[in-house]
Amino acid sequence: MNHHRLVHGVAAISAGAAALSLTACGGNLGGSSAEDFPNGAINLTVGQDAGGSTDLIARALAEPVSDDLGVPVPVMNKPGANGALAAQTLAGENADGQNLMVINASLIAITSLVVGEDEVVSLDDYEIVTGISQDDYVLVANADSGWESFEDLEGSGQTVDFATTGVGTGSQLSQELLFNQTEVDGNDVPFDGGSPALTALLGNQVDVTSIQLGEAYPQIQAGEIVPLMVFSTDRNQYLEDVPTATELGYEVPVAQYRAIAAPKGTPQETIDTLKESFDAAFETQAYQDFNTNALLTPYQVDGDEVVADWTEQRETYEALIAEYGIDMGGDA
Amino acid sequence: MDIAPVIDGFGVVLQPENLLYCLIGVVVGMLVGVLPGLGPAATIAILLPLTFNVEPVTAIIMLAGIFYGAQYGGTITSVLLRLPGEASSVVTVFDGYALARQGKAGTALGIAAIGSFVGGTVSIIALTLVAPFIASFALDFGPPEYTMLALLGILLVAAVGNGSRTKAFVAAGIGLLLATVGRDGFTGAERFTFDSLSMADGLDFVPIAMGIFGLAEILHSLENREKLAKPPAKVSNPWPSRSDLKQSSGAIGRGSVIGFVLGILPGGGAVLSSLAAYGLEKKRSRTPERFGKGAIEGVAAPETANNAAATSSFIPLLTLGIPANATIAVIFGALLIQGITPGPGLVEDHPDLFWGVVNSMYIGNLLLLMMSIPLVGLFVKILTVRASIMAPITVLITLIGVYTVNNNSFDIVLVIVFGVLGYLMKKAGFEPGPLVLAFVLGSLLESNARRSLILFDGDVAGFATRPISGTLLAVLVVVLALPLLGLLLRRDRRTPSGGIAPGGGPTPGGTPAPDGTPTDPAPEARSKEEAPS
């Protein structure tokens, strides 16, 4: 029954995305454990609370993947320690592809720079199925400040209180890097997530904050807050007019990336089958609409590329932190 | 004021699903109001996971229904059995039971139902007008203001606790300590996590509430299976006479105002306001000697006030994200589970939720008014269900329920640990309310105090120079100074206590803690008010 569905699924993908079917070949011919795949429901764990952007992405993908593989794909939230709790649990699951997780690059590349050694989550413990998308950080100021660009902020000559979404987040890293590269004095004020940081900015409790675009966009549209720069190497497709940090001469290559991870040792055939299925999901109109609405930039690369990218990011961040003498523990 | 979202809110309430959940909420609320031992905080804590799969607005409509529904239900056993089902109905016992013994139980219940309805409705209308106003300057509440509010909340919570103020402060102290567990949000340092990733984010509020309210209450009530007084065979003529209504109308009016005002204050809420309203009526009355012997105002005032307060205590939660009492703290947890952080943005970002919940209270109160009399007999019967059947089922639901929230078996351990802790606290006379509230307010206090100091560059004077935080600081000083002043005054002229100043100041007598088990209805208060024996 499952086998039949699988063949059917593979056929559907091949029709839908011809280019990707090249990697699909081995799917049904491999080792015994991979042959049974998928054997029942595939659990997709999210290391964050329900309702957050990671959760929404997982749910947007679970449905088309479930349709494609013909098995249920329940999304389970297991929040804790920035996703480390869920990642630790996943590493201990059977390596049969029945347990997956949406993993965030910040957990690998940024949080690991802050937490104790036993808490560091390493990509060595996982197989990466596929990259999903990129979520850019944007530096925003309250419209009341009168600042329209980062030059205005620099020209003000004042000490800038910047809100972060917490210790060991991309929000903190991006602003720490930025304010360590400018003449402006910055004051790190950690909040507990994007929404409180934004609220503090709207209430003029702080001067700027760096938050994910999806969280900032409605207020940018409403004219309440002004985007000063985007922390990505290329301009963001949703904010064409806003310069990147790189363009302005700052070395702040920070963005949030997400990927699908499986336990280490999952057979390559199973990974391939899953990759095809996720690729098929990426192709669906519903998912593409979701991506646009959530202001996400596709990052649908294969596992090896994710590992290479994130490893490089981690090294870059580590080097930058050392270079600018940044204390990620906050300078309170 | 923009009226459109208010109207839209009615559209939300009138969806069949929401109406159904509203009905379920008020029926469950009334039921737990009747059952001594199981308070609304416990019930909401136990039922939290069930709300996981419904829309946020539907979930909160139901949980809110449980809260104000319990205020109605608590009256029934107070009047019929001299057993307050709910801490906020303790004072209703004095005159309610006296009336029942005079064969006027129906009148007492009728007046209580009408008073509750009026109080609730007045409070919702006031909430509708006041909440958006508060929310409109809620963005001015920055870290310093939250610091002051949290401090004030913890202080009031501990101060209005059960007879022993020391024990309340100890409980609050434990709550504050528990709030320090987890990764430091400012430095990333691990605090009391014992290298466990499960504790890296600190202890989760939901298992604590479920353990300390839910499990502990069940354990405690198993131990205290009291022989219940036989309820009167028949409750006759629940509709009060015209003269009864006339006599109560003043009490109902004043009760609504007192309830609304005290409900907003942190630590205030239903219990304090019922006492204050009763005290005021007794003080105003030309015939105070009737109180305790069957004065209808003595039923009308507290029952009106507790319902008005239950409603208005939603204001600080929905506009600032500050829970005013333990039950609201659990509802706060429910919102968090739903992915909604209650705060200044709520009215604007989730108008359907805000107005849906607010407007559902009109419907809920109407339902309660209609049901409260016909269902009296049924609820009294439920009191006879054996605890040996109820308790294991409830425990099982609690444990399964908490697992489903985070899919984490560590949470089950937490519930059991806090269940046992809560049980021991009850045995030793410590109320769980201050602990749980201090736990919630503790993390607010710490993070905001530290944020403020970063913003002030370490200058503590900053708290006094900002207008709102400065005002709150002044209130804090007054609250601290009042009891001392009261002490001095009392030493000067030994005035008989009994009147309770409606101003939120700590009451001199024994005020039962919010959500305390009412099986032992504040012995101090009883002797003071000369309850019938």
For A302-326, write each residue's pLDDT tens digit: 999 999 999 999 999 999 999 988 8
> What is the CB neighbour count within 10 angstroms for residue B527?
12
Q: How far is A247 from chain B (nearest CA, A)?
A: 30
Residues of B within 8 A of A192 (CB-CB) are 185, 447
Confidence of residue B342 (pLDDT cuts 50, 70, 90): confident
pLDDT surpasses 50 at B103: yes
Which residues from A are below 8 Å from B194, CB to CB? none
Can you give the pLDDT at residue B37?
Answer: 63
Task: Tell how far CA B359 is from the center of its chain.
Answer: 19
Residue B57 has what pLDDT? 92
| Interval A115-142 mean pLDDT | 92
- Give A302 or A56, the one with higher predicted confidence: A302
Cα(B113)–Cα(B116) distance, integer angstroms: 5
Please, what's the b/e burial string for A19-48 (b: 16 or more CB within 10 A of its CB; e: otherwise)? ebbeebeebeebeebbbbbbeeebbbbbbb
Contact B141 A192 (CB under 8 A): no
**Interface touch A187/B189, C-beta < 8 Å:** no
Q: pLDDT of A166-183, one tens digit each?
A: 888 999 999 999 999 998
Task: Give mean pLDDT, residues A93-109.
Answer: 94
Rounded distance between C-alpha atoms, residue B341 and residue B401, angstroms: 21
B500: pLDDT strictly greater than 60: no
Q: Does B140 touch chain A (CB under 8 A)?
A: yes
Rounded Cα–Cα distance for residues A124 and A118 (Å): 14
Comparison of pLDDT for A3 and A214, the residue scoring more? A214
Tell me if B213 sits within 8 A of B221, measured CB to CB: no
* A78-82, A108-112, B227-231, range with the lowest pLDDT: B227-231
Question: Which residue carries 């987890």 as its tokens?
Answer: B182
Contact A81 B407 (CB under 8 A): no
B343 contact residues in A (CB cutoff 8 A): 195-196, 199
* A76 strand-pairing partners: A45
Q: How many interchain CB pairs under 8 A, A with B?
A: 107
* Beta-bridge partner residues of A210: A139
pLDDT given for residue B405 in this prediction:
75
Average pLDDT for residues B21-43, to the nearest whole number? 84
Closest-CA residue of A relative to B204 is A80
Least confident of A101-110, B138-147, B249-258: B138-147
Residue B514 banded pLDDT, cuts 50, 70, 90:
very low
Mean pLDDT of B493-510: 42
Task: Check CB contact under 8 Å for A85 and B341.
Answer: no
Please tell me whether residue A239 adopts helix, strand or coil conformation.
coil
Lowest mean pLDDT among B56-65, B69-78, B422-431: B69-78
Q: Choose the closest CB to A77 out of B189, B336, B407.
A: B407
Cα–chain center distance at A310: 11
Q: Write out pLDDT tens, residues B311-328.
A: 998 988 888 888 877 788
CB < 8 Å to B143, chain A: 189, 200, 205
The separation between CA B371 and the C-alpha centre of its own chain, rounded to angstroms, equals 22
Task: Give the pLDDT score at B417.
Answer: 96
The overall average pLDDT reported for chain B is 81
% of chain A residues with pLDDT over 70: 88
For residue B384, is pLDDT > 80?
Answer: no
Q: A20 or B372: whose pLDDT is higher?
A: B372
Q: Among A82-91, A134-143, B174-183, B188-197, which stretch is predicted with the lowest mean pLDDT?
A: B188-197
Least confident range from A74-78, A319-323, B254-258: namely A74-78
Residue B6 pLDDT > 60: yes
pLDDT of residue A15: 40
Q: Which residue of B has its CA nearest to A203?
A: B139
Which tens digit of pLDDT belongs to each residue from A215-263? 888 889 889 999 999 998 889 999 999 999 999 999 998 999 999 999 9
In whole angstroms, what is the distance from residue B433 CA to residue B415 CA? 16
CB within 8 Å of chain A, chain B residues 433-452? 447, 450-451
Please determine, for residue A146, whether its predicted confidence score (pLDDT) is greater than 90.
Answer: yes
Q: What is the pLDDT of residue B228?
A: 52
Question: What are the helix (H) ranges across chain A?
Answer: 2-16, 32-35, 53-69, 84-91, 105-109, 150-156, 170-181, 194-202, 213-221, 268-283, 285-293, 303-324
Residue A139: pLDDT over 90: yes
